[in-house]
Amino acid sequence: MNKDLYLKSIQKFDTYKRFGKVTRVVGLMIESKGPEASIGDLCYIHAHTHGRTRKIAAEVVGFQEENLLLMPLSDLKEIGPGSLVEATKEPLQIKAGTGLVGQVINPLGEMMDGTCLPKGLKNYPTEQAPPNPLKRPTISEPIQVGVKAIDSLLTVGEGQRIGIFAGSGVGKSTLLGMMSRNSSADVNVIALIGERGREVREFIENDLGEEGLKRSIVVVATSDQPALMRVKGAYTATAISEYFRERGFNVNLLMDSITRFAMAQREIGLATGEPPTTKGYTPSVFAALPKLLERTGKSHNGSITAYYTVLVDGDDLNEPISDTVRGILDGHIILDRKLAEQGQFPAINVLKSISRVMNQVVDDNHKQAAERLRKLLAVYEENSELIQIGAYKRGSSREIDEAIQYHPSIIKFLKQGVNEKSSFEQSINSLLQLLV
Ligand SMILES: Nc1ncnc2c1ncn2[C@@H]1O[C@H](COP(=O)(O)OP(=O)(O)OP(=O)(O)O)[C@@H](O)[C@H]1O
Ligand SMILES: [Mg+2]
């Protein structure tokens, strides 16, 4: 009985390896005649160096008449005309499992330090379909982020997806580090996409620290790597988050940055001959973004609460990637350069930020207190110029008087040192006490 089964699978097994040959290389793109493969399949190109063969991973990204268009996942150096192209007939898979926690890996799922992966991991494809929209449970529970301003005024729900919009140097990495260390999620998956190599090390050692790394998996694709690797970094981190979600975990996915993912996708699009549209971004960028962002969120087994940083150049919030991402996600946190310059860290501009699920996940007391604080801040902002030059006379308006009276304690409440911890309950209590 068992023997038959084995014989059958041997008969079914394809023992032929299928090869094609490289015919042309243009920029980032390799053209080959054969092998038989479909879009998204992984192939290995056999490169020869000093009499030895090295296999270079590449992915099928298109066709040109009868020929395959491939993009490499590493440097192109030793490829020549006639180099063999081996088909695997499968898309890229990584290895996932609890053994990855505390490790730093590349988009192919290999250890960054070159050592062997821990044992007991399972194969897992990096590209998956998003959960069925009708089967998605609604978001009903808050999750502790561990940053006072966010937990109290921009409460995040378990399975919510949020954009963090920031220019350079306004405290993005520091904030992501604080979230990874202080949040109540079971595990963090951190994707560093398109950062400079130096920044990666600084982030892991300083911002995340040992305490953060212990409960995180870091996926790194630096800016010098091929565009396809940077795109894969986002897919791999999302796939690892999905792996944990389907096993019942509450996962935090922190992706820095989605803008660099879009830029890498643009590079690929332009190389495959797509037309550039807004700001040179190709149509495939706008197709890839919702497909990636819809994969996170809540499922019946667990949740992925996701934070995507968006780079805003010259603090311009209307560039096409910001716009698209803001439309897909359930909220945004805006880091403001003005606040950072005044030394107010984290530099969250509360009035410009919003959590679209907050009202679903907090109680009435908390909601009212948050609304009151926003109102006080807004009144102060509207009149800040008058107040600061001393043109406002106390007693003219009760509303403004109140805003002035509360302002110093509100600012003190919103500030939080890098190593200052605050639980969800502590943050809410401080908010309620502040306003009595
Ligand atoms: N919570 C905080 N408390 C005090 N200082 C802070 C805080 N957050 C950030 N800073 C200050 O802001 C500086 C810049 O922060 P950070 O490196 O996190 O910014 P970034 O947005 O990641 O910058 P880049 O764009 O260069 O990656 C830090 O060196 C630190 O001095
Ligand atoms: Mg940074």
CA of 207 to the centre of ligand 2 (A): 9
Q: How confident is the model at residue 284 (pLDDT cuts 50, 70, 90)?
A: very high
Of all protein residues, whose CA lies closest to atom 2 belonging to ligand 1? 345
CA of 172 to the centre of ligand 2 (A): 6
Of all protein residues, whose CA lies closest to atom 13 belonging to ligand 1? 171
Assign 3-class secondary structure to 157-216: ECCCEEEEEECCCCCHHHHHHHHHHHCCCCEEEEEEECCCHHHHHHHHHHHHHHHHHCCE
**Does residue 389 sit in helix, strand or coil?**
coil
Closest among 188, 199, 309, 173 to 245, alpha carbons compared: 188
| Pocket, ligand 1, Cβ cutoff 6 A | 166, 168-174, 345-346, 416-418
Q: What pLDDT is attached to residue 317?
A: 63
What residue has token string 């008087």? 401
Q: What pLDDT is attached to residue 65?
A: 86
Q: What residue spans of 214-319 are helical by DSSP H?
A: 227-245, 258-271, 283-293
Query: Would you say residue 235 has pLDDT above 60?
Result: yes
Region 332-337: what's the mean pLDDT?
A: 94
Of all protein residues, whose CA lies closest to atom 30 belonging to ligand 1? 171
CA of 324 to the centre of ligand 2 (A): 23
What is the rounded distance in angstroms from the CA atom of residue 109 to the CA atom of residue 264? 19
Residue by residue, DSSP assigns 38-57 as -TTEEEEEEEEETTEEEEEE
Of all protein residues, whose CA lies closest to atom 8 belonging to ligand 1? 171
Conformational region of residue 416, where left means phi above 0, alpha means psi within -120 to 50, and beta covers everything else: beta
Instruction: Decide which of 131 and 268 is more confident.
Output: 268
Cis peptide upstream of residue 355 (ω within 30 degrees of 0): no
Conformational region of residue 192, where left means phi above 0, alpha means psi within -120 to 50, and beta covers everything else: beta
What is the rounded distance in angstroms from the CA atom of residue 238 to the CA atom of residue 124? 11
What is the rounded distance in angstroms from the CA atom of residue 244 to the CA atom of residue 233? 17
Instruction: Decide which of 17 and 99 is more confident.
Output: 99
CA of 153 to the centre of ligand 2 (A): 24
Write the CB contacts of 337 (distance below 8 Å, at least 6 apart in sequence). 167, 170, 315, 347
pTM score > 0.75 for this model? yes
> In this structure, are strands 122-125 and 93-96 parallel, antiparallel, or unpaired?
antiparallel
pLDDT one-digit tens code per residue, 201-221: 999 999 999 999 999 999 999
CA of 121 to the centre of ligand 2 (A): 31
| Nearest ligand to the CA atom of 337 | 1
Sign of the alpha-carbon dihedral angle for 146, 152, 157, 162: negative
